[in-house]
Structure 1
């Protein structure tokens, strides 16, 4: 069945691509026996089809880049390597950072910068750092009367929205946030309106304190609201475990997720910590389909424990 889907995907059958993508999210190892055929048929998109790629497939992809025969495919090949997260892929991306392959002059970022598309990065110390976790839990949106203690957005005066209130004393939260190094209560509050237009940062501490970061700068393109807008009267509550780290959905009701990997609507957009400039760790996703009766888009939550910053950004189609 999967081989048939691969051949249909090669013939640009969108339904087949969607089915393969679902397999990549729910049981990526099922695709391992078919990834050689994916390469043979030039099915490189979406790159998440190669999440569980083995040594042989990764070596083939690296060889295609090194041969330089298909520079027009370089972007997709680098994405495949980034999504695999494989040690061989990491080594190759590091090598190409100083010795760029053919076609690298057409890229918008350097080869090693592609790593964030796969949820990892290389820090200033030269060591790899995973930006996403291996464990994920469904976030259930529950009605709440609790606001952000009367705090309002300095830009539009709307009441701030508590997008997350979790504590690592709960085993599920501790597992979901293990990659961040956070210990204690984490409260992330944000302006639900202005976050749709700019990444908003806050200071956070393990006792649950949270404050708007005074360095947030309002871009000129943020529209003026007609007046203060009430945030969603909903608070994410940790629900059952996801079968894989890839269960988040930015599109479907029930897709809000704590931990795991994000479902980016556009390119990966890990916020950079304003304290040190490094990519922040991904915390979770709150989907518009869960917040509103009719809604699209998603809020993405981030954290950088060493500097004590949280961030929220937003994507939509």
Structure 2
């Protein structure tokens, strides 16, 4: 059980208490379920990850608050609560609000589908729901690559391309993607820090730079850099899908849900425009002693595209 004092401190807007509850939401989100009604009563909505294991009663209350138009300035945080809950009622409500916008929606910076992506799912253009993240996750341990490989040069900066991951598509962590066969992520470790880099992938492990990648104007002249010499190897299963960390050693994770440093950034597939499926996170702290930020890997199996993007504080 959670200490009642901890909940009382969170209700009183104690930052340390809320941070502790956030850590519990990442490790054992079900422990928070009995207390979510009280937090909702007190208007403690941030971070929305605390509501990952919210019950139907809490979700019904949040939907009713949005429908009633109460405190429209709280709409964004309420939508995040619904998104992180991944509850079926949350999906039904957000799909309805796309056509029947609730009070306060004009002040939002993104639409309903983008809010859903914060929770690891999306609303497709036809109104259907699709999970972008899997429910199975594994530790990713960064090890020296088995042997040096000669890789093509990045068309933007001339650095040798980096094989960020080389995966067996049969892994349960990739089940939600529909990918079969070998999945290799070849990208530029430097340029993907500035913009999403796409590659075309095939089930035999083929991975080639997509000719449609557009060099961002703000990426100035650079000298070629050697890519990381480490590659992730799959370790033990994580206790739940929410234990990836973009900040700490050992946070790199195959599958599960990402920890975004900024807002969620699931890229659209350049082939069809649908949002790509999330594959894993490689933390800068695991790549280098002084590393920061994180690389996020994505795939869209129907079109054969992979993508790598990056966030840092």
Where on the TM-score scale, by shorter chain, does this alignment land: which range? over 0.9
Q: CA RMSD in A?
A: 1.2
TM score, norm. by length of structure 1: 0.96
- Is 1:251–1:289's contact at 8 Å kept on the other side of the alignment? yes
Match of 2:275 in 1: 279
After superposition, the C-alpha distances for 1:92-149 in whole angstroms (9 at most, x for unaligned) are 1011111111111101122243111111112234321100000000000001264553
Per-residue CA deviations over 1:194-253 (Å, capped at 9, x if unaligned) read 01100000000000010000000001111322x110111100000010000001000000
Q: In terms of mean alpha carbon deviation, does 153-162 or 1-10 score higher? A: 1-10
TM-score (norm 2): 0.97
Map 1:152-301 to 2 at 5 A: 152-169=153-170, 174-225=171-222, 227-301=223-297
SS of structure 2 residue aligned to 1:177? helix
Matched, 1:48 2:58: no
SS of structure 2 residue aligned to 1:21: helix
- Residues 139 and 238 of structure 1 are in contact (CA less than 8 Å); yes or no, is this contact kept in structure 2? yes
Contact 2:124-2:130 within 8 A present in 1 as well: yes
| 1:79/1:114 contact within 8 Å kept | yes
Matched, 1:23 2:19: no
1:294-313 superposed matches below 5 A: 294-313=290-309
- TM-superposed CA distance for 1:56, in Å, is 0.4
Q: CA deviation at 1:2?
A: 4.0
Which residues in structure 2 correspond to 1:22-171 (within 5 Å)?
Answer: 22-144=23-145, 146=147, 149-169=150-170
Structure 1: where are the runs of 5+ without partners?
none
Paired residues, number? 312
Q: Distance in 1 between matches of 2:91 and 2:174?
A: 23
Cα distance in 2 for residues equivalent to 1:185 and 1:101: 44
Task: Note if 1:316 corresponds to 2:309.
Answer: no
Alpha-carbon distance, 1:41 to partner: 1.3
- Preserved CA contact (<8 Å) 1:165 1:187: yes
Q: Is the 8 A contact 1:264 1:315 kept in 2?
A: yes
- Residue 48 of structure 1, CA deviation: 0.5
Q: CA deviation at 1:40?
A: 1.2
Q: How far has the Cα of 1:72 moved from its partner?
A: 0.8
1: CA distance between counterparts of 2:139 and 2:221? 34
Structure 1 residue 14 and structure 2 residue 12: aligned?
no
Counterpart CA distance in 2 for 1:120 and 1:278 is 12
Structure 2 unaligned blocks of 5 or more: none
Change over 3 Å in CA distance of 1:164–1:62 after alignment to 2: same
The one-character-per-residue Cα deviations of 1:268-304 (angstroms, maximum 9, x if unpaired) are: 0001100001110000000000011012100000000
- For the residues of structure 2 that align with 1:68 and 1:92, how far apart are their CA atoms? 14
Asked whether the 8 Å contact 1:10–1:41 carries over to 2, the reply is yes
